[in-house]
Amino acid sequence: MAEKKANVKIEDLLNPQNFDFSTVQVLDENGTIVNPDLMPDLSDEELVKLMEDMVWARELFNRSTALARQGRLGFYAPTAGQEASQIGSISVTTEDDFILPGYRDIPQLIKHGLPLSKAFLWSKGHVEGNNYPESLRAYPPQIIIGAQYVQAAGVAVGIKKNGRKAIAMTWTGDGGSSQGDFYEGINYAGAYKAPAVFYIQNNGWAISTPRELQTAAATLAQKAVAAGIPGIVVDGMDILAVYAVSKAARDFAIAGNGPVLIETLCYRFGAHSLSGDDPKRYQPDGIQDEWQAKDPLIRYRKFLTDKGLWSPEKEEEVIERTKEESKAAIKEADQAPKQKVSQFLRNMYETPDYVTQEQINKYEAKENK
């Protein structure tokens, strides 16, 4: 991990000529503010909201894991450990921003307005999971690693052409930063000075491949240099740092200065996905424990508790609420109508061609038997 440095100014980091890729941190592992200058300007209520959202995300991970193990969910990529990275970034957006999540970025989608029942339907493999309300500015979770980056550049150019005061926000992982589309995406956004904020959530592993095997580059944020855009490394286990950097990056992009690349240093507690991955096979002993101590919830909980803004009761309340919410959402998801091949065929084109229409007729006849 890159060296941490106190007293950095975000304005300095938001400069493509800045080659300081030391790690921005606001809150250390003990919940102490180490860089007061970077403390985001948030009310007590807003500070509490960040904690509520992280506790919600952790409990959503617990619920989703349990539901997946019971066979009530399908594909699920665990998020525990990335709460600061995911919640910290999405919390600076408004509904005018367009988000392009990867497959692990479900919490951001829900925070941006996707009903939880739809997120569950996506996991189960049901079209209704991607049936987005008109108002939701988002593209569904991207399975092709890197594709969201080139698309985000396009969305950002579109936002600029439309004169909207908004950004495109997208996420990939450390492994994803080796893809061609990763580079093309940041380079296109840079060339057009388009308002995009790109994240690399560096959780150390791309399935079993350690981050060191992705590249000899000392940091992933320095890849921004290749696009001529600012790159910032942030402690991804520190919600205040992620929030502060994200907020500054969004303001910078909206002001017409172009895109920003942000690397969040975080960790994936547990497996890559629940589809048979076992990190014990490849991760060194003790590394999970080492990172558990850096848990974003621990340090932020301490910070808020010291300020008298948080209590075990409050936390329990959020957990209970999330349990109830999950229960209702999975119930709703279970009630989604069985998918029909005839409907899939109808969803292919605005107007079906001759051969597609023949197939619609054939499957409708079967379905109506």
Which active-site residues does the annotation give? Answer: 268, 272, 282
Q: Which is nearer to another protein, 47 or 147 (CB)?
A: 147
Selected range binding another protein among 206-214, 247-255, 297-305, 348-356, rule: CB under 8 A: 348-356
Using the rule CB under 8 A, which residue among 147, 248, 262, 265 binds another protein?
147
Q: Which is nearer to another protein, 35 or 187 (CB)?
A: 187
Q: Rule CB under 8 A: is residue 303 a binding residue for another protein?
A: no
Selected range binding another protein among 238-246, 312-320, 326-334, 344-352, rule: CB under 8 A: 344-352
Encode the chain in three state secondary structure.
CCCECCCCCHHHHCCCCCCCCCEECCECCCCCECCHHHCCCCCHHHHHHHHHHHHHHHHHHHHHHHHHHCCCCCCCCCCCCCHHHHHHHHCCCCCCCEEECECCCHHHHHHCCCCHHHHHHHHHCCHHHHCCCCCCCECCCECCCCHHHHHHHHHHHHHHHCCCCCCEEEEEECHHHHCHHHHHHHHHHHHCCCCEEEEEEECCEECCEEHHHCCCCCCCHHHHHHHCCCEEEEECCCHHHHHHHHHHHHHHHHHHHCCEEEEEECCCCCCCCCCCCCHHHCCCCCHHHHHHCCCHHHHHHHHHHHCCCCCHHHHHHHHHHHHHHHHHHHHHHHCCCCCCHHHHHHCCCCCCCHHHHHHHHHHHHHHCC
Q: Rule CB under 8 A: is residue 354 a binding residue for another protein?
A: yes
| Interface size with another protein, residues (CB under 8 A) | 42
Q: Which is nearer to another protein, 96 or 320 (CB)?
A: 96
Q: Rule CB under 8 A: is residue 158 a binding residue for another protein?
A: yes
To the nearest whole angstrom, how small is the minimum distance from the Cβ of residue 100 to another protein?
Answer: 8
To the nearest whole angstrom, how small is the minimum distance from the Cβ of residue 172 to another protein?
Answer: 13
Q: Which is nearer to another protein, 182 or 303 (CB)?
A: 182
Q: Which is nearer to another protein, 161 or 362 (CB)?
A: 161
Q: Which residues contact 300 (CB under 8 A, 6 or more apart)?
A: 27, 31, 50, 51, 54, 84, 239, 240
Using the rule CB under 8 A, which residue among 161, 307, 362, 366 binds another protein?
161
Selected range binding another protein among 63-71, 130-138, 201-209, 252-260, rule: CB under 8 A: 130-138
Using the rule CB under 8 A, which residue among 144, 218, 255, 365 binds another protein?
144
To the nearest whole angstrom, how small is the minimum distance from the Cβ of residue 23 to another protein?
Answer: 30
The CB-side HSE value for 223 (13 A sphere, CA atoms) comes to: 26
Q: Going residue by residue from 167 to 196, which x/- string records binding to another protein, judged by CB under 8 A?
A: -x-----------xx--xx-xx--x-----
Using a 10 angstrom Cβ sphere, with 0-12 exposed, 13-18 middle and 19 or more buried, the burial of residue 94 is exposed
Q: Which is nearer to another protein, 56 or 171 (CB)?
A: 171
To the nearest whole angstrom, how small is the minimum distance from the Cβ of residue 56 to another protein?
Answer: 26
209-210/205-206 β-pairing: antiparallel
Q: Rule CB under 8 A: is residue 349 a binding residue for another protein?
A: yes
Q: Rule CB under 8 A: is residue 331 a binding residue for another protein?
A: no
Task: Give the largest CA-CA distance in the chain.
Answer: 71
Selected range binding another protein among 26-34, 46-54, 296-304, 349-357, rule: CB under 8 A: 349-357
Using the rule CB under 8 A, which residue among 34, 127, 318, 336 binds another protein?
127
Q: Give, in order, the Cα–Cα distances in Å from 209 to each of 186, 214, 216.
A: 24, 8, 14
Q: Rule CB under 8 A: is residue 134 a binding residue for another protein?
A: yes
Using the rule CB under 8 A, which residue among 154, 210, 270, 279 binds another protein?
154
User: Interface residues with another protein (CB under 8 A)?
Assistant: 98, 127-128, 130-132, 134, 139-140, 144, 147, 149-159, 161-162, 168, 180-181, 184-185, 187-188, 191, 344, 346-350, 353-356
